[in-house]
Chains A and B, each alone.
Chain A
């Protein structure tokens, strides 16, 4: 492989990884946008999404097979089901805490994370579940660069979902309301916006995106387990912070940057992949030090 080939191949790897991070980061950033909560259960929502998708795929694979058709049906089912799970979590765990100090609700989020993780641990006996599909290993070769068909479809689906979200937020009434709520909740209430419902819709959308990413991860990697949400949760959080937490475009950008950083870090001579997490979280620290609002975040004046 020539240097150009290597760089292009790593670029592709980074884009695939980055689109997973971006999908999960979007949920972080949207939820932070509306209720200023770092939803640490978000990585586990992604994990639950993968398991629901797995269950749905097992159910439909008998009739429509476990090819792309079945996978998209499973992904759709997972997005709806986990979207509602997100709403339930919001209603049960976060809504009563909204007026409490921010630290309390953050701790609640950690508790929700542990509940989901341990429930999955108990249900699966801690075992790795194989996520089987009918997809092959074919792909496109451009010189020495090789791109798998699965990767192409997954990145395309991620892009479609992100465009869908962008349209939802910028063109619909709920999107407008969501942006308004993130600016000023009290004013929204005075203007007759149903703030509670807007928050619920935000949780639904964020959780559904995470579920989609979870199913994609199952398809791409072929393996799901109860702990799969932990690291990606941290990394998606990092992506959201790099992009500017609260900013939707920022989350997408942050996800891609993080994916690319990891891919290229692996290739650095004499250092290697052991260090890629050091790079990732090192970048998080640098961003926090030099541009705490992230690349696209706006600085917010704290009102007293």
Chain B
């Protein structure tokens, strides 16, 4: 039987992008971060974060040495949180333009849907998370234009989902790692603990 980890080991994909910011947030919340650049480093993680950045660049790296296929099967069983480009990687469908994705989360994502950097914005809105309204930092953000039946929407912008969950997969089109509010990462760590508790119960 596997014990629920006290300081969960969370991988942060570091091919390129906002991995530093996630590491800072995870460390502040008492988790142990590990930067992931090659498949071997995925070993023994409790959870995985796919950060923001350029999804096209990340895909180039995933195309090498079978990383894409390894990651595709890995996220099926490991709690995974994708922000921005990470959410694009997790989606079943990607638009403008269409591109390959891990298809772990039943959503359709439209890239750079709000425009370029001058259209980036910080919004604060009520969400289904406990506590006050949540600050959401959108950087050249994508838009979730469709969610499948198993997908729960936890936050929205203009009626479109910005934070969604389905089973052990969490995805945000904004950047909680760039806000001081830790609730989204806390939610992910809770999800990690639940997943391992469920796993422990099943295998008991």
Do A and B assemble together?
A: no
**A interface residues (Cβ-Cβ under 8 A, vs B):** none
Residues on B lying within 8 angstroms of A by beta carbon are: none
